[in-house]
Chain A
C-alpha cells in the first residue's frame, strides 16, 4: 500500500494534502498497489473527501490524545499504520506538521526520508525522488535504501487531480500515553492569508523599497491580484520592522508560486535560490543591469514607486482577482 497522511482544516482536506494524495494515486497506479489516506485528530470529519482524490482505503484515528498536535503521538499513529498495512511508501505534504512528523516517523520505521520533494516516480518497484538542494540551486535524484520509503511533497508543485476511489473507511486506535512535547496554543495569525510557501502569487520587495512602510503599495497590489507579500533578506535585515517569516531566499522561505513579482530586488544568489522555482517571474527594478532580469519572464525597468501603483490600478481596471 501507498499511504498518504492528510491534514484537515475546517472539515476539508488541505490543498497540500490533496496534492500529496493525487501524487500518491499516480504512484499507486504505477506500482499496482492500493492507495490509503490516513487522518488523525480529535475528529476526522471530512476525511471521506479523500475518495475524490483516489483513496481506496480511508484510515482514521480519532481521540483526545490527537486533539492537539504532538510529534510523538502523530508519529506513533503513522508508524503504526504503516506497519499494520504493510505500506512501502508513506507520503505527507511538506507543511509545518508534515515536516515535523514525517522524519520522526521515518526514524521510528528505520526508513529513508526525502523531504520537500518536487518529483516522484517508481523505478524497478522502488520510490525515486527528485528534491531541490541548496535551496533550488540544484536538484538531487534520491533513491531509498530501506524497505519503507518516506517523502514529503512540496506544496504547489503536484497537481491536485480528482480521480474517484472506493474510499473504504477503516478506523485506527488513537495512541494512549504521555506525550513528550505538545502544542498548547495556536497564536493568532497576523492575517487570514496563506503562507508564502503555499501562495500562488507572491509580490516581493527588496532594498529598493527604501522603508518598511512602503510595503503598503505591495500589499495593495497583492490584494488586487490575490497574492501574498514577501521580502528579500536585504529588506528583512535592514531594520524596517519586517518579520523574518516574510523572507524569501536560501535562509528564508523557498517558494514556488505561479507568479512571483520582484520589486526593487537586485537578485542576489541567495534570493534567487529561494524563488527560481516560480513559474512566471516579473522583475521591476530601476537598474536595467540587475541580475534579477536574467530570470524574469517579464521585466520592467522603471521606478517601482510609479510602476507598482499603476499595476494595482491596471489589475483592478481589468477585473483581475474578481473570479
Chain B
C-alpha cells in the first residue's frame, strides 16, 4: 500500500493574529509555525497503517524553504520520504488541491490522508477538491478508519452523531481529532530524518478560485458587567438580565 499524507504549515493556535501592512494577509512577525493539528492525526494514521499492514508513506507539503520543517518532522515521525512542491502553500484550497493533484495523479497512491481542515484557513475544502480532481472517493471528518484490500470503512463525525462511510480505494480521507493519539518523534527518528533528503519539485500552474481582498480583526466586544452578591443573588440577577436586557429567553 502506498499512502500520501498532505501536510500544511499553519500558525500555532496560541498566535495572536495581526494584519500585515497589505491589509489582506497575516503579519508573519512573531508567528510560531506548526504542522496543522488535524494533519498530525492523518500522518499518525498513515504511520500506524505502515506498522500494522506495511505501507510506504510519502509526506507532502506545498510551500517554500520554511515549509521543510513540517516535512522534516514527518520524516522523524516515520514517513519514508518527503516531497516539497514549491508554490504558494497559503493559496486558496482549490489552488492547493490542483497542485497536489498534479503531483499525485500518476503516482498510484492507494490512500491520501490529510486533516479535515487546515488550522487557520479553516476552509475544510482541500481534501474533497483533491478527491474530485483525482476522480476518487472521499470520507471527511473521520474518527475511525479500517482498511481492507481495495476498500475502506470509516466513521465520520456529523451533527451530534456519526455515520459509517464505505468506499473503494484509492480515496481521500480527512482526519478529525479522535482518530488517534499522535506520537512524539523519538531521538532515533530525528537522527534518521537528518540523513533523508526532501525531494523538491515545482508546483504545476493552477487557477485560483477565490482571493482574500481584506483581512480584519473582529470588533471589540462591549464592556461587560460583573454581578454582585452571593451565589443565589448572582444567579437571580443573571437570569433576570438575560431575560430583560439581552432578551435571550
- With beta carbons under 8 angstroms apart, the residue of B119, B124, B167 that contacts A103 is B124
- With beta carbons under 8 angstroms apart, the residue of B160, B214, B217 that contacts A194 is B160
Contact of B122 with A141 in the complex, beta carbons under 8 Å: no
Measured between C-beta atoms, what is the minimum distance from A165 to chain B in Å? 27
Given contacts A71-B128, A142-B212, contact A187 B161 (CB under 8 A): yes
Query: Mask for A253-285, Cβ within 8 A of B = 1, else 0?
Result: 010001100000000111001001101111000
Contact of A138 with B136 in the complex, beta carbons under 8 Å: no
Cα distance A130–B71 in the bound complex, in angstroms: 32
Contact of A307 with B235 in the complex, beta carbons under 8 Å: yes
Contact of B13 with A115 in the complex, beta carbons under 8 Å: no
In residues 205-250 of chain A, which contact B (Cβ within 8 Å)?
Answer: 225, 243-245, 247, 250
Q: How many residues of chain B get a CB closer than 8 Å to chain A's CBs? A: 88
Asked if A185 lies at the interface with its beta carbon under 8 angstroms from chain B, I say yes
Contact of B224 with A298 in the complex, beta carbons under 8 Å: yes
Contact of A100 with B138 in the complex, beta carbons under 8 Å: yes
Cα distance A173–B63 in the bound complex, in angstroms: 42
Q: Which residue of B lies closest to A312 (CB)?
A: B235
Given contacts A193-B160, A293-B224, contact A143 B210 (CB under 8 A): yes
Contact of A115 with B124 in the complex, beta carbons under 8 Å: yes
In residues 197-249 of chain B, which contact A (Cβ within 8 Å)?
Answer: 207-218, 221-222, 224-227, 231-232, 234-236, 238-243, 246, 248-249
Given contacts A112-B92, A113-B125, A269-B16, contact A187 B155 (CB under 8 A): yes
Q: Which residue of B lies closest to A320 (CB)?
A: B249
Given contacts A181-B139, A184-B166, A310-B232, contact A298 B225 (CB under 8 A): yes
Give chain A residues whose Cβ lies under 8 Å from the Cβ of B17. Answer: 134, 137-138
Give chain B residues whose Cβ lies under 8 Å from the Cβ of A259. Answer: 242, 246, 248
Contact of B158 with A96 in the complex, beta carbons under 8 Å: yes
Give chain A residues whose Cβ lies under 8 Å from the Cβ of B140. Answer: 71, 99-100
Contact of B165 with A182 in the complex, beta carbons under 8 Å: yes
Cα distance A116–B94 in the bound complex, in angstroms: 16
Contact of A138 with B218 in the complex, beta carbons under 8 Å: yes
Asked if A110 lies at the interface with its beta carbon under 8 angstroms from chain B, I say yes
Cα distance A100–B11 in the bound complex, in angstroms: 25
Measured between C-beta atoms, what is the minimum distance from A71 to chain B in Å? 5
Q: Which residue of A lies closest to B116 (CB)?
A: A99
Contact of B14 with A184 in the complex, beta carbons under 8 Å: no
Asked if A108 lies at the interface with its beta carbon under 8 angstroms from chain B, I say yes
Asked if A121 lies at the interface with its beta carbon under 8 angstroms from chain B, I say no
Contact of A310 with B234 in the complex, beta carbons under 8 Å: yes
- With beta carbons under 8 angstroms apart, the residue of B177, B217, B235, B241 that contacts A313 is B235
Give chain B residues whose Cβ lies under 8 Å from the Cβ of A184. Answer: 153, 163-166
Contact of B132 with A107 in the complex, beta carbons under 8 Å: yes
Asked if A314 lies at the interface with its beta carbon under 8 angstroms from chain B, I say yes
Asked if A34 lies at the interface with its beta carbon under 8 angstroms from chain B, I say no
Cα distance A191–B119 in the bound complex, in angstroms: 29
- The prevalent SS among residues of A at the interface is mixed
Measured between C-beta atoms, what is the minimum distance from A76 to chain B in Å? 10
Contact of B221 with A189 in the complex, beta carbons under 8 Å: no
Q: Which residue of A lies closest to B13 (CB)?
A: A270
Query: Mask for A170-200, Cβ within 8 A of B = 1, else 0?
Result: 0000000001111111111111011111100
Asked if A300 lies at the interface with its beta carbon under 8 angstroms from chain B, I say yes
Asked if B15 lies at the interface with its beta carbon under 8 angstroms from chain A, I say yes
Contact of A143 with B165 in the complex, beta carbons under 8 Å: no
Give chain A residues whose Cβ lies under 8 Å from the Cβ of B192. Answer: none
Given contacts A259-B242, A299-B225, contact A314 B209 (CB under 8 A): no
Residue positions of B touching A, CB distance < 8 A: 11, 13-17, 19, 24, 26, 37-38, 92-94, 97, 119-129, 131-133, 136-141, 143, 152-153, 155-168, 171, 176-178, 207-218, 221-222, 224-227, 231-232, 234-236, 238-243, 246, 248-249
Cβ-closest 6 pairs across A and B: A112-B209, A181-B167, A180-B137, A181-B137, A310-B235, A195-B159
Some 30 contacts from A to B, beta carbons below 8 A apart, are A71-B140, A96-B157, A112-B209, A133-B122, A135-B119, A138-B215, A145-B208, A181-B137, A182-B167, A185-B164, A187-B155, A187-B163, A189-B160, A194-B159, A194-B160, A244-B143, A247-B177, A251-B119, A254-B122, A259-B242, A276-B218, A277-B218, A279-B248, A294-B221, A295-B221, A299-B224, A299-B227, A300-B226, A300-B227, A311-B238
If A100-B140, A270-B14 are given as contacts, then 12 extra A-B residue pairs at C-beta distance below 8 Å, sorted by A number, are A96-B159, A107-B129, A110-B207, A140-B215, A144-B210, A184-B165, A251-B13, A269-B16, A298-B238, A299-B227, A302-B234, A320-B249
